[in-house]
Amino acid sequence: MTETLRTEALSKSFGSVHAAQSVSLTVQASEVVGLLGPNGAGKTTILRMVAGILAPDEGRVLLKGVNLEDYPLSTKRLIGFQSGDTQLYRRLTAREALVYFGRLYGMDEATLQARVEELIGLLEMKSFADQQCGTLSSGQKQRANIARAFLHRPELLVLDEPTAALDVISGQFIVETIRRERAAGRAILFSTHIMGEAEYLCDRIALLHQGRVVDYGRLDELLERSGCTNLTDAFLKNIGHTGRPGDVQ
């Protein structure tokens, strides 16, 4: 298998808050790696560093062996980033937004137009592709966003809680899209706090707590190491929490 992403001891602090501490991960092609952790565990910070949006204080991000900090423009072309709270420009139509980002990624006009049409069909966006994004529903916006992240055929998809705030149907649509992209050979790093989603999608899972990776491996490995029968219990055990109200880890 080809290693698409490697993070080496990534650390990031905001003042006295250590959002990420020495995080090392790898993601192979055709693999989904999930970052699992509660709110404030550092998932978003790690994904932003991987996507080149935030510069790490220490450590480095290698995409196909190339340091992102040294060659930001070429390495960013390999990444498709999408976050649950990412919005699209409300006064552009979904189609215009896709064309805009395609140009920013340096796609030539003919390829771009064909790819936009392909994604509009693939993600069932025909009915709203020419509506301004400000008028779309949450599910429609998320599809348009996914289309934007997939547009330039990135080798690595970085998805930050992509199903957050979506209804069951829209959420399932996104999950199936991720599976399809994995089958197409993409490496996928995604974060979630929904255990079922992680179990269903991820080839490997990194359990995060207070900016640190507390365990990392396949689901069966995590369960075996924790001695638990499900991911929720394994996670709670790893962070020293019983799950009862008032229990402090």
Q: Is 187 in the site for another protein (CB under 8 A)?
A: no
Q: Is 240 in the site for another protein (CB under 8 A)?
A: no
The region of 65-73, 115-123, 209-217, 229-237 touching another protein under the rule CB under 8 A is 65-73
Q: Is 55 in the site for another protein (CB under 8 A)?
A: yes
Q: What is the CA radius of gyration of the chain?
A: 18
The region of 78-86, 108-116, 162-170, 196-204 touching another protein under the rule CB under 8 A is 78-86
Q: Is 196 in the site for another protein (CB under 8 A)?
A: no
Residues 135-174 as x/- pattern, contact with another protein by CB under 8 A = -------------x---------x----------------
Residue in 167, 185, 208, 179 with CA at minimum distance from that of residue 39: 208
Q: State which of residues 1, 16, 39, 73 lies at the interface with another protein (CB under 8 A).
A: 73
C-beta separation of 23 from 7 below 8 A: yes
Q: State which of residues 6, 89, 164, 239 lies at the interface with another protein (CB under 8 A).
A: 89
Q: Is 27 in the site for another protein (CB under 8 A)?
A: no
Indicate the residue among 85 and 220 with the shorter CB distance to another protein: 85
CA–CA separation, 95 vs 184, rounded Å?
24
Residue in 4, 156, 157 with CA at minimum distance from that of residue 145: 157
The region of 49-57, 123-131, 178-186, 203-211 touching another protein under the rule CB under 8 A is 49-57
Q: Which residue has the tokens 């990392």?
A: 216
- Residue 132 tokens, joined: 């301004």
Q: Is 101 in the site for another protein (CB under 8 A)?
A: yes
Q: Is 29 in the site for another protein (CB under 8 A)?
A: no
C-beta separation of 99 from 176 below 8 A: no
Indicate the residue among 86 and 232 with the shorter CB distance to another protein: 86
Q: Is 186 in the site for another protein (CB under 8 A)?
A: no
CB burial of 117-154 (b: ≥16 within 10 Å; e: otherwise) equals eebbeebebeebbeebbeebeebbbbbbbbbbbbbbeb
* CB-based contacts of 223, cutoff 8 Å, min separation 6: 229, 230, 231, 234
CB of 76 to another protein, least distance (A): 4
CA–CA separation, 156 vs 27, rounded Å?
9
Indicate the residue among 73 and 110 with the shorter CB distance to another protein: 73
Residue type, 100: Y
Residues 106-135 that bind another protein (CB under 8 A): 106, 132
Strands 17-28 and 3-14: antiparallel
Binding site for another protein (CB under 8 A): 14, 48, 51-55, 70-74, 76-77, 79, 81, 83, 85-92, 96, 100-101, 103-106, 132, 148, 158
